[in-house]
Amino acid sequence: MNANVRDYSACRPLGSTAALAVSVTLAGLLGMSGGAVAQEATGKSFVETFDTLTASRWFISDGWNNGKHQNCTWSKDQVKVADGNLVLSFEKKPLKNRDYSCGEVQTKERFGYGTYEARMKTGTGSGLNAAFFTYIGPVHKKPHDEIDFEVLTKDPSKVQVNAYVGGKSNDEKLVDVPGGADQGFNDYAFVWEKERLRWYVNGQLVHEVTDPTQLPSNPQKIFFSLWGTGTLREWMGEFTDPGKPVSMAVDRVAFTAPGEACQFEGSVACTLK
């Protein structure tokens, strides 16, 4: 996400996606060893194909927003399962002090090193953000660590990849999505290890970070969200009312812990070395 969008202080206890920059000085926690990451991570390997939304795994954000930059309120009404997909929507439906409602889900458990994968399709619209990411932060009494895939739907031909360590954005990059994120389902994956972080689009390596200062070290929750802004024009584009609901659909999400067998055909975890 944009480096200016990082304030989770207004979130409910389970947290949520974007916000204004937060200064976090917890150097001891940032120096966690791989063993500490494994110890604090409670999430196990799984594959979810969204025949239902597994209540034991997912929390639906509902009734708040992440700050002044966000022009919508998280609403459970914008989250549903249909035709084997998780569907998150953004629409003009006033809720609380916002004119629009939007959808987000997050895991209840935290996950550590491993392979994270999602197969999803987005709608289009200037001023909107369709995201698959992991996050932990001050709302959880932890430093702000994060790993992102974000489709800025003003231009669905690309996806932004990025990571945060202690609230600081590192080496964000826009990469191509062949055929477009809005024209069909695409596979997005990142492999998070103690020594490196790699992002993949449709099985192809698109970005890698090995600098130890740019590698998250705290177990994180998995999020999917679709939200809008009226203020972050330079990053997400000038917001225009889309005139109809915009949605993103997630066909599958998976987490594979290090050393475990890949869980489905075509998984990035099947080819890792």
Asked if the model's pLDDT at residue 98 lies above 60, the reply is yes
What structural domains and CATH numbers belong to the chain? 41-270 (2.60.120.200)
Tell me if 112 sits within 8 A of 88, measured CB to CB: no
CB of 177 closer than 8 Å to CB of 201: yes
Which residues belong to the active site?
Answer: 146, 150
Tell me how far apart the alpha carbons of residues 70 and 262 are, in angstroms, rounded to a whole number: 37
Quote the pLDDT of residue 42: 86
For the full predicted model, state whether its pTM sits above 0.85: yes
Q: Which tens digit of pLDDT belongs to each residue from 189-244? A: 999 999 999 999 999 999 999 999 999 999 999 999 999 999 999 999 999 999 99
Chain segment 17-47, per-residue pLDDT in tens:
333 333 333 333 333 345 556 557 889 999 9
**Residue 236: strand, helix, or coil:** helix
- DSSP 3-state helix, strand, coil percentages of the chain (rounded to 5)? 10, 40, 50
